[in-house]
Amino acid sequence: MTIKTWLDESTKSLKKSGIETSRLDALILLEDTLGKDRAWLLAHDETDLSEKNVDSLNILLEQRLNQTPLAYLREKAEFYGRNFVISRYVLVPRPESEAMIDQLKIIADNLSKDSHTPRILDVGTGSGALAVTAALELKQASVDALDNDPKTLKVAASNVDLFTLSISVFESDLLSNIRDFYDILLCNLPYVPDDFKINKAAKHEPTQAIFGGHDGLDLYRKLFKQVVLLSEKPLYILTESLPEQHTVLASIASLASYKLTKTDDFIQVFKLA
């Protein structure tokens, strides 16, 4: 079987299963399996595939036909222009979360003008993509990250090592193990309501990282209750949630003396009043 034959047949199969990026996905699987870039594959599409490569490709194809996210098959995903290690223990980083980094950079820049080194904590770090990106984008900042799942923390630690950073990654049930002061909290917590119908691809992701109770905001309620108990509160708390949840989330934050100062699509910026 040639590269072209496998590409054409797999593209048709993926399209039939409802995957809109069928040809792109097939090309990516070929790139990863053969270790060749797209330009080479298309220029040499009459090249015969070895039996071993066909078997490997078909195993991956079968999983993709079952809507397994491409990031899990590749064990990597892009976020903010960088590739991160991904496993099935963590959510695949979403493009909408990049807006949190954009807002963070604005806040950190303002703090730095006062010769202040921003201390940032990524709460519920997952893959560590937010924490690592924050550290790489803000060289002057100090960044830590936490999660309550040891398996998740291993993935985050892998990404910290991948970019040779000195981020402290530790286990904590939200803020329960916090001993230090942080200027800014990055909080991309599970926020999908329990009865929300997620797509087939999301069903392959860890449910505990997706669903957040009846209205999706249970973990944010817990977070802000913990914030109240801190001896010194963060100056800013950045959150991610569905746009239709923003009004309720702003009310939750106000009970902990935080005022909404900015909304950027899924992202909200709260400042200590």
Decide which of 38, 66, 94 is a domain's last residue.
66
| Tokens describing residue 96 | 């909408």
User: Are residues 185 and 121 in contact, defined by beta-carbon separation less than 8 angstroms?
Assistant: yes
> Considering the domain boundaries, does residue 44 fall inside one?
yes
What would you measure as the largest C-alpha separation in the chain, in angstroms? 67
Kindly state whether residues 142 and 206 are assigned to the same domain: yes
Kindly state whether residues 139 and 191 are assigned to the same domain: yes
pLDDT tens digits, 154-207: 999 999 999 999 999 999 999 999 989 999 999 999 999 999 999 888 899 999
> Considering the domain boundaries, does residue 96 fall inside one?
yes
Kindly state whether residues 264 and 222 are assigned to the same domain: yes
Decide which of 19, 36, 66 is a domain's last residue.
66
Cα dist from 150 to 87, 157, 205, 206, whole Å: 13, 10, 17, 14
Q: Coil, strand, or helix at residue 140? A: coil
Which is more confidently placed, 183 or 111? 183
Q: What CATH number does residue 38 fall under?
A: 1.10.8.10
pLDDT class for 133, splitting at 50, 70, 90? Answer: very high
Alpha carbon distance 157, 1 (integer Å): 41
Alpha carbon distance 87, 216 (integer Å): 24
Q: Which residues contact 90 (CB under 8 A, 6 or more apart)?
A: 126, 127, 152, 155, 156, 206, 209
Confidence (pLDDT) at 136: 97
Concatenate the DSSP letters of all residues of 44-103 into one string.
Answer: TTTPBPPHHHHHHHHHHHHHHHTT--HHHHHTEEEETTEEEE--TTSPPPPGGGHHHHHH
CB atoms under 10 Å from CB of 144, counted, come to: 20
DSSP 8-state class, residue 202: G
Confidence (pLDDT) at 91: 96
Of 82, 65, 85, residue with least CA distance to 204: 65
Kindly state whether residues 235 and 122 are assigned to the same domain: yes
> Considering the domain boundaries, does residue 170 fall inside one?
yes
Kindly state whether residues 104 and 52 are assigned to the same domain: no
Kindly state whether residues 109 and 22 are assigned to the same domain: no
Q: What CATH number does residue 215 fall under?
A: 3.40.50.150
> Considering the domain boundaries, does residue 120 fall inside one?
yes
Q: What's the whole-number mean pLDDT along residues 208-234?
A: 97
Domains: count for the chain = 2
> Considering the domain boundaries, does residue 71 fall inside one?
no
Kindly state whether residues 17 and 135 are assigned to the same domain: no
Kindly state whether residues 105 and 35 are assigned to the same domain: no
CB atoms under 10 Å from CB of 170, counted, come to: 14
pLDDT class for 116, splitting at 50, 70, 90? Answer: confident
Average pLDDT along the chain: 96
User: Are residues 230 and 111 in contact, defined by beta-carbon separation less than 8 angstroms?
Assistant: no
> Considering the domain boundaries, does residue 76 fall inside one?
no
Kindly state whether residues 157 and 214 are assigned to the same domain: yes
Does residue 115 surpass a pLDDT of 80? Answer: no
User: Are residues 162 and 211 in contact, defined by beta-carbon separation less than 8 angstroms?
Assistant: no
pLDDT class for 33, splitting at 50, 70, 90? Answer: very high
Confidence (pLDDT) at 153: 97
pLDDT class for 113, splitting at 50, 70, 90? Answer: confident
> Considering the domain boundaries, does residue 163 fall inside one?
yes
User: Are residues 115 and 85 in contact, defined by beta-carbon separation less than 8 angstroms?
Assistant: no
pLDDT class for 117, splitting at 50, 70, 90? Answer: confident
Does residue 114 surpass a pLDDT of 80? Answer: no
Concatenate the DSSP letters of all residues of 1-40 into one string.
Answer: -BHHHHHHHHHHHHHHTT-TTHHHHHHHHHHHHHT--HHH
Strands 236-240 and 267-272: antiparallel
Kindly state whether residues 44 and 123 are assigned to the same domain: no
> Considering the domain boundaries, does residue 72 fall inside one?
no
Does residue 111 surpass a pLDDT of 90? Answer: no
Confidence (pLDDT) at 204: 93
Kindly state whether residues 30 and 115 are assigned to the same domain: no
pLDDT class for 110, splitting at 50, 70, 90? Answer: confident
Task: State the residue range of the domain holding 52.
Answer: 3-66
Alpha carbon distance 62, 43 (integer Å): 26
Rounded to two decimals, what is the model's pTM? Answer: 0.93
